[in-house]
Amino acid sequence: MTKLNWTPTTVIPLADLDDLARQLQHELDAAADDDGDQTSSTESPVAVISAPAIAGASALAYTIDQRAGAADDEHVAAAAHIVALLAASESNRGALREAGLVAPLAKALQPVSVASLNAKAPRQIMRALANMSFDNDETRAQIIAAGAVASQVALLVEAVAALRSSPGSVREGTVLLRICAGFVLNVSADNADSQKAFVEAGAVAPLVTVVEKFVDTAPDAVTMSLRALASLAEVEQGKAALLGASIVPVLVDALSRTSDEGVQELSVAALELLVEDESGRVQFAGPLLLHKLIVFVNSGGNGLATSEVIGSVAKVVSTALTEDECMLPMFQPSTDGNPLSEFLRWMEHSEATVRMAGALSVGNLARRDDHCMQLFAAGIVAPLSKLFPATDAREQHAALGAIKNLSMPADNKEKMLTSQLLDDFNPLLHSPHTAIQYLAVSTLRSLCNNCGANVPKLLARDEILLRCIELLKSEHVGTQCESGRLFCNLIRYVDVGETIDAVIAIPGALDAVSSLFASEHVMLHGEAIFALSVLVKVRPGTVDKLLHLESKLLKIAQSSTTANASPVVSANALTLLLHLFTAAPTQQLSTETTEGIQDLAQDETVDPILRAKAKEVADALASLHP
């Protein structure tokens, strides 16, 4: 067992420090062998060693203080190295702090220049403090109080500047950069106070510079810098500082240039974090950034990225495209190629994550009519529909959502609803997943909305329409409503004549429309009333099938005073009542309905539009049955 037998005011001889270092390293190596784990005391400071007697640890503090004052780099480095080795054991960290080692170590931490990039003391001091602070908030507080955070950031800034001004020194300096970033990581990990201290001291900018300037020459330093930045981004100040340093273009560039797996994974993780923030998404609108990410996916990171990284990049793109600023460049011509054509290849990608992200991206891009038409013209519908047989319901849902969004422009509807697409839809209506059933019916409804040319296509598919009737009994209210709305559209937008008769002949079609009256949404009441009004006007003979709606229509009219009511919808309900009983003069309104209409006509608190309509209807009905 190693013992420290010096008195607190002893300057420990350099030879003794070297001997002690060899002993401690031997114990560390032995412990690592026993655990079957080749652990690095610098990078993994939780390695277990035999607990040394550290009563003489104060002598280390004294030695560091005295030799730092004499600018003795080698001696200070040797003493700090001992502290780093001792602090590799969790059981030693508290005692080392109590021995007063933080203050002299912080005091001895000095900036470097080109000439001193290979100095030993700064490296060993940062290792010592990093190991002491690992998972130890009391030590972290002392490090901040002693000014070590500010000193270390100043050292990091100088080191980066020195390396940039002297490229020939990169080999010596990149180890220092890695140790600097490791210090930031260890001292800040899971500790908001430390994270804020580093951000306030300006640590973000030099770490971003390391990622930007040294990704090709120092991947280890870049990896550690990315880990440190991820720690600082856990506080809002840190995330804001990262965005203030315009880190998104830096990360995209690093991802595009590197073949290092660690750099790729950490770059993508940072992008995933930043893209969830609105201010972060805006940065993805920079020149060709999304295009670079799309190309990265299509090339598999030049064939060097893992499937997880490729899938994560695809998800970053799909999220970024929820921002208008990011969407617009996708439709603009570029000398570097058409990002849209590159992007459309995702739907045929071998990775399910990429295919799903591609479908979600199309849905996000399809927010403007002109964009929807460009996407349709690019031939996106067929690749999307190929995703319908996917075993992953999320993939199906994403594809369906994109198809629905693409169907919004009138110019797309008729072209989109092909016999093949209807064939593809049929299995989706029978999906075991309620969300898929809902979206399939809703998309069919959208395709028929204000598009009479599509109605005969759907009427020719009995199996689809009968399944939609069955879905009126779905436990999902949204699916029930979308089925009813589909049949409203079939009536509203059908050509008069035999075609509307085909709608009426579908078993349950009229019940599907009237089912919307059970909804709490007044908009759906309005859709049903409009469709039935068209039906009564075109086919008066259907009146007998609708007279049972009398009480429901009165209820809608009387609901005009409730919070979600619409006086216009209530007035239209009264108009439909009038049409029904005008077309069936032998039928009379119930006393309750007659009195209800008269009350609305006389109620001064009722909306003027509804009150006038109620009076008109009451007078007209009275003339029918004087």
- Beta carbons of 170 and 218 less than 8 angstroms apart: yes
Long-range contacts of 387-394 (CB under 8 A, 24+ apart): 387/347, 387/355, 387/356, 387/359, 388/424, 388/425, 388/427, 388/428, 389/427, 390/352, 390/355, 392/352, 392/356, 393/431, 393/433, 393/435, 393/436, 394/356
**CA neighbor of 168 nearest in space, from 206, 117, 110:** 117
| Residue written as token pair 């990091």 | 156
What pLDDT sits at residue 254? 94
Query: Confidence class of residue 370 from pLDDT cuts 50, 70 and 90?
Result: very high
Q: Where are the beta strands (DSSP E) in 492-590?
A: none
**10 vs 437, higher pLDDT:** 437
* CA 345/CA 383 separation, integer angstroms: 9
- Beta carbons of 179 and 150 less than 8 angstroms apart: no
**Digit-coded pLDDT (tens) for 190-221:** 999 999 999 999 999 999 999 999 998 889 99
What pLDDT sits at residue 525? 95
- Beta carbons of 368 and 407 less than 8 angstroms apart: no
CA distances from 487 to 141, 440, 516, 527 (A): 68, 14, 11, 10
**278 vs 470, higher pLDDT:** 470
**CA neighbor of 357 nearest in space, from 303, 404, 312, 296:** 312
Q: Is the pLDDT of residue 23 over 90?
A: no
SS (H, E, C) 464-493: HHHHHHHHHHCCCHHHHHHHHHHHHHHHHC
Query: Confidence class of residue 111 from pLDDT cuts 50, 70 and 90?
Result: low
Q: Is the pLDDT of residue 169 over 60?
A: no
**Digit-coded pLDDT (tens) for 241-262:** 999 999 999 999 999 999 899 9
Most confident of 7-16, 34-43, 422-431: 422-431
Query: Confidence class of residue 623 from pLDDT cuts 50, 70 and 90?
Result: confident
**CA neighbor of 597 nearest in space, from 581, 580, 613, 576:** 613
What pLDDT sits at residue 611? 92
Percent of the chain surpassing pLDDT 70: 90
Q: Is the pLDDT of residue 600 over 90?
A: yes
Structural domain boundaries in the chain:
246-381
What pLDDT sits at residue 29? 79
* CA 322/CA 324 separation, integer angstroms: 6
**Digit-coded pLDDT (tens) for 41-59:** 443 333 333 344 455 688 8
**Digit-coded pLDDT (tens) for 536-546:** 988 888 899 99
Rg for the chain (alpha carbons), in Å?
A: 36
Residue type, 85: L
What pLDDT sits at residue 448? 94
- Beta carbons of 317 and 328 less than 8 angstroms apart: no
Beta partners for 53?
3
Q: Is the pLDDT of residue 98 over 80?
A: yes
What pLDDT sits at residue 33? 64
CA distances from 383 to 232, 294, 362 (A): 41, 17, 11
As a whole number, mean pLDDT of residues 352-379 equals 93
CA 5 to the chain's CA centroid:
57
Instruction: Report the b/e string of 364-403 with b at 16+ CB within 10 A.
Output: bbbeeeebbbbbbeeebbebbbebbebeeebbbbbbbbbb
Beta partners for 3?
53
As a whole number, mean pLDDT of residues 59-86 equals 90
What pLDDT sits at residue 385? 93
* CA 411/CA 404 separation, integer angstroms: 14
- Beta carbons of 233 and 273 less than 8 angstroms apart: yes
- Beta carbons of 450 and 412 less than 8 angstroms apart: no
Q: Is the pLDDT of residue 151 over 60?
A: yes
Q: Is the pLDDT of residue 456 over 80?
A: yes
What pLDDT sits at residue 485? 97
Percent of the chain surpassing pLDDT 90: 65
What pLDDT sits at residue 69? 81
- Beta carbons of 490 and 455 less than 8 angstroms apart: yes
SS (H, E, C) 425-446: HHHHHCCCCHHHHHHHHHHHHH
What pLDDT sits at residue 39? 37
**332 vs 179, higher pLDDT:** 179
Kind and range of the H or E element at 110? none
Query: Please, what sign has the CA dihedral across residues 70, 71, 72, 76?
Result: positive
CA 593 to the chain's CA centroid:
53
What pLDDT sits at residue 572? 95
CA–CA–CA angle 482, 487, 488 (5° rounding): 90
Global confidence as pTM: 0.83
What pLDDT sits at residue 562? 65
**Digit-coded pLDDT (tens) for 112-140:** 665 566 788 999 999 999 999 998 999 99
- Beta carbons of 297 and 310 less than 8 angstroms apart: yes
Question: In CATH terms, is domain 246-381 a member of 2.60.120.380?
Answer: no
As a whole number, mean pLDDT of residues 489-499 equals 80
What pLDDT sits at residue 51? 41
| Residue written as token pair 């990265």 | 296
As a whole number, mean pLDDT of residues 428-452 equals 95
Average pLDDT of the chain?
88
What pLDDT sits at residue 455? 93
Q: At how many degrees (to 10) do helices 550-558 and 591-602 cross? A: 20
**Digit-coded pLDDT (tens) for 505-517:** 999 999 999 999 9
CA–CA–CA angle 358, 361, 367 (5° rounding): 145
